[in-house]
Structure 1
Amino acid sequence: MTETIKELFAYLKNPILEEDANTNFSYRIKKFGFLLIICLATGFIISPLFVLIEELGFVDMQEHAMEDLMKKLSKPVIFVFAALIAPVFEELIFRAPLTAFKKKNQFRIAFYVFAILFGFVHITNFELTTNVLILSPILVLPQTLVGGYFGFIRVRFGLLWSIALHGSYNAILMLVSFSSY
């Protein structure tokens, strides 16, 4: 796990277009599991910021798109959308194009731009207010970071792996959120 964390953060500092030479499935599943844990831990570590933002009255976290969806749609429909449909479309938009950038500097810029765009697309989950816009870098920080993690696995293992990681991550988040309803 420690090795995966070091490899991931080294990659995020200097992303390169290089597939992992180790194609062993058990190696990849193990790395996938570690990355899934890292994704979940990232959200957990950042969550106190959201509590602080809400406690200070800057943003009402209950005014979130998930709250509306829970009122309008059934849990199975939400789950299928969040764990299957959204990851496929989002990975096709934000991660599939990465390998088209062959030059080192172009790839690096594209990697960061796609991760940031992926994060900022998620600001639409909030009711857009002045405070939400001002705090948007913090509010979408988890999505921006996991966008980088998804980019890492996409480049190293392939697009299907990033779709699977994204879907697994969303599925776990959905199951946790369903437990509070």
Structure 2
Amino acid sequence: MFFTDTELFQMLQTTFQDFLAFSKNPVKAESYTPMSARSMVAFLLIALVLVIPFGLLMNYLIGDQFDSLFEEIFKINKWLIVPLGILLAPLIEEPIFRLHLDLKKSSIWWSMILSFLVMSTQWFLLVAFLVYMIFLLISVSQKEVVNLKFVVYTSAIFFGVVHLGNFSNFDFVSHFYWIPLLVGAQFFIGLMLSYIRLNHGIWYSILFHGVYNAILIIPSVYFYEP
């Protein structure tokens, strides 16, 4: 898979325009299509170009103010984070935060049930998510029209906020003003994964999630020094 600079620029431009249009007005494809390798690369490049500078800015502003659970795992066995972040996280998080985007009752039930695996230690977040799921379930059962943009953005917000659990000493009340900065990258990735899920299916969002995590995690683990 090789392409010229012009082809790469056009591919990135087209992909970003499609994603931007989706962000303004999310729609579900009539039928899922396989996600091409080129499209996967384009989305990865866009994600990394936007997320890495954001992460550096966050690190500069916040530093080590909050204790990361990843640091604790690194101290036990730094390579343990690889299967957790690359395999387990996408396999659990995608069904929770993206499966129900198709607004099918079975998908909503699965998202609701699996949410207990991730949010059990964040009871307030779990309660809010369950209320959201019950609302969707009732609306779909009564055949009401549900605003897909509301669903996509709400799921992306939950996806971002749940990652605050990665900080062992984060207090919502005391540090509420840091929340947009801490979850901004995850929110953006959540929207991108929503696009992939609604155009290519849940397995492609799982695959993209895993590859994206691998690109960020493996170099961090390899060069990590206690």
Task: Establish whether TM, by shorter chain, passes 0.5.
Answer: yes
List runs of 5+ in structure 1 lacking aligned partners.
Answer: none
Kindly provide the CA deviation profile for residues 110-144 of structure 1, in whole angstroms up to 9, marking residues without a partner as x. Answer: 11100110000001112213554321111110001
User: Are 1:69 and 2:110 matched, yes or no?
Assistant: no
Report whether the alignment pairs 1:10 with 2:21.
Answer: yes
Amino-acid identity (%): 29
Matched, 1:60 2:71: no
Q: Is the 8 A contact 2:85 2:210 kept in 1?
A: yes
CA RMSD of aligned residues (A): 2.2
Pair 1:19–1:39, CA change in 2 (3 A): farther
Moved more, 145-154 or 36-45: 36-45
What is the one-letter code of the residue matched to 1:16?
V
Does 2:168 align with 1:160?
A: no
Residue 70 of structure 1 aligns to which amino acid in structure 2? Answer: F
**Contact 1:8–1:149 (CA<8 Å) still a contact in 2?**
yes
Relative to the length of structure 2, the TM-score reads 0.69
Taking a change above 3 Å as real, the CA distance of residues 37 and 19 of structure 1, as seen in their structure-2 partners, is farther
- The amino acid of 1:123's aligned partner reads L
Q: Which residue of 1 aligns with 2:108?
A: none
Checking the alignment, whether the CA contact within 8 Å between 1:118 and 1:143 is kept in structure 2 is yes
Runs of 4+ in 1 over 4 A off after TM superposition: 101-105
Q: Is residue 2:80 matched to residue 1:39?
A: no
**Map 1:98-109 → 2, pairs under 5 A:** 98-100=101-103, 105-109=146-150
- Quote the Cα distance in structure 1 between the aligned partners of 2:175 and 2:166: 10
Once the two structures are TM-superposed, the CA of residue 9 in structure 1 deviates from its matched residue by 1.2
In 2: Cα distance, 1:173 partner to 1:104 partner: 38
Letter in 2 for 1:67: E
Quote the offset at 1:54 in angstroms.
Answer: 2.5
Distance between the aligned counterparts of 2:174 and 2:61, measured in 1? 10
SS at match of 1:135: helix
Tell me whether 128-137 or 29-38 shows the greater mean CA deviation. 128-137
Q: From 86, 90, 115, give the equivalent of 2:93.
A: 90
The more displaced of 128-137 and 167-176 is: 128-137
Q: Check if 1:30 corresponds to 2:72.
A: no
Distance 1:99 1:161 in 2: 14
8 Å CA contact retained: 1:79, 1:174: yes
How many residues are paired up?
A: 173
